[in-house]
């Protein structure tokens, strides 16, 4: 069994602010369905994340770097990802 762990567990200076980009956590989570051979599910998640970023509906870290982007909270970003699945 592989050890699947996200690159960052939490950001202690931003608790409860609902503004952190969950992308690394989501992509780390994709490793489990990939490991289990659920390639369609893994691909769906990665594609939805990519579509959300390309649509410029992003969290603060991307918004400040992308011209014309819409700033979303973490929870709103997650809702957009789900909508793109």
In a domain, 6, yes or no: no
Domain count, the chain: 1
| Mean pLDDT rounded to a whole number for the chain | 87
Q: Tell whether the model's pLDDT for residue 8 goes beyond 60.
A: no
Instruction: Report the distance separating Cα 49 and Cα 32, nearest Å.
Output: 16
In a domain, 15, yes or no: no
Residue pLDDT, tens place only, 14-54: 667 788 888 988 998 899 999 999 999 999 999 999 999 99
Tell me, what's the pLDDT at 75? 94
pTM: 0.83
Q: How far is CA 40 from CA 13, 30, 43, 68, 82, in A?
A: 36, 11, 5, 32, 15
* Segments forming the whole domain that contains residue 50: 23-83
């Amino acid at each position: 069994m592989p050890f699947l762990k996200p690159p960052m567990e939490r950001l202690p200076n931003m608790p409860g602010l609902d503004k952190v980009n969950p992308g690394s956590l989501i992509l780390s989570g994709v490793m489990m369905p990939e490991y289990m051979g659920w390639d369609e599910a893994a691909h769906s998640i990665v594609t939805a994340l990519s579509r959300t970023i390309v649509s410029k509906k992003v969290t603060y870290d991307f918004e400040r770097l992308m011209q014309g982007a819409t700033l979303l909270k973490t929870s709103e970003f997650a809702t957009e990802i789900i909508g793109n699945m």
